[in-house]
Amino acid sequence: MTKTTTDHRDLAARFPNLHVLDHPLILHKLSHMRNQATSTKTFRQLLREIALLMGYEITRSLPITHEELETPLERVAVPVIEGKKVAVVPILRAGLGMADGLTELMPSARIGHVGLYRDEETKEPVEYLVKLPKAEGRTFILVDPMLATGNSAVHAVEVLNRYGVADDQIRFMALIAAPEGLEVFTRAHPQVKVYVAAVDRCLDENAYIRPGLGDAGDRLFGTR
């Protein structure tokens, strides 16, 4: 039987911007999500839980400043996160399931949306919805569970760029990536840090990640 994922130590040299968050809890939950027998309800819950756990690591490097306050006993300078509230930006529609976990972790995060569909003739992503918070001084976490061809992810970063968000303000978070998608994305946006739970074997001829978990949007929303 083949294992699901690529050994991430081999990937470090190829993709210096890649962070594989292979915490045992994340991997265990992801394995349940891969199971075709897992219900929509459980799939949705696991995606939210994994996003929350990944969010904990992704936000580790947020800058800290100090604010003064009075405890019941004395005045102290306490650490708080510096700057504007983080923006979570799901790529519609499957990104919504991961955004839920992040906003549970950061209830005051701003939420943007980027809606893309693939034009059947040109095969290029087309925007149908873009709503974003103000860019200045803010970290943006762009989320989409499957980094497959990389085309939507590249396009979504370009949308953020157009709205004044620089690559070094953006972190991209996915559940599973294909090496092909990582190649495309890293070449286009080497400054964007990419966080994934697993890197799978390859893309197939229908642009599905193998072994993957199928269509993330359909499994999340119970559609076909």
Does position 209 interact with ligand URA (CB under 6 A)? The reply is yes
Residue 103 CB, nearest approach to ligand URA (Å): 21
Does position 125 interact with ligand URA (CB under 6 A)? The reply is no
Pick between residue 86 and residue 176 the one whose CB is nearest to ligand URA: 176
Classify residue 66 by burial, with Cβ atoms within 10 Å: 0-12, 13-18, 19+.
Answer: exposed
Give the separation between CA 42 and CA 46, rounded to whole angstroms: 6
Does position 184 interact with ligand URA (CB under 6 A)? The reply is no
Pick between residue 87 and residue 96 the one whose CB is nearest to ligand URA: 96
Q: Is 145 annotated as a binding residue?
A: yes
Pick between residue 163 and residue 208 the one whose CB is nearest to ligand URA: 208
Give the separation between CA 176 and CA 144, rounded to whole angstroms: 9
Binding track, positions 72-101, relative to ligand URA; x by CB under 6 A: ----------------------x-------
Q: Which amino acid is at 103?
A: T
Q: Is 61 annotated as a binding residue?
A: no
Q: Is 146 annotated as a binding residue?
A: yes
**Number of residues lying near ligand URA (CB under 6 A):** 10
Peptide bond connecting 211 to the previous residue in cis, omega within 30 degrees of 0? yes
For the annotated catalytic residues, the residue numbers are 118, 122, 215, 218
Sign of the four-CA dihedral 153, 157, 160, 162: negative
Q: Please choose, out of 30-38, 75-83, 124-132, 201-209, the segment that lies near ligand URA by the rule CB under 6 A.
A: 201-209
Q: Which residues pair with 38 in a beta bridge?
A: none
Using DSSP, state whether 63 is helix, strand or coil. Answer: coil
Classify residue 104 by burial, with Cβ atoms within 10 Å: 0-12, 13-18, 19+.
Answer: middle
Q: What are phi and psi of 32, to 5 degrees?
A: -65, -35
Does position 221 interact with ligand URA (CB under 6 A)? The reply is no
Q: Which residue in 148, 170, 192, 197 binds ligand URA (CB under 6 A)?
A: 148
Residue 221 CB, nearest approach to ligand URA (Å): 11
Give the separation between CA 201 and CA 111, rounded to whole angstroms: 32
- Sheet containing 146-147: which strands, arranged edge to edge? 146-147, 176-177, 198-199
Structure tokens at 21: 């968050």
Does position 220 interact with ligand URA (CB under 6 A)? The reply is no
The residues that touch ligand URA, with contacts defined as CB under 6 A, are 94, 146, 148, 207-209, 212, 215-217
- Binding-site residues, in ranges, read 93, 118, 144-152, 209, 214-216
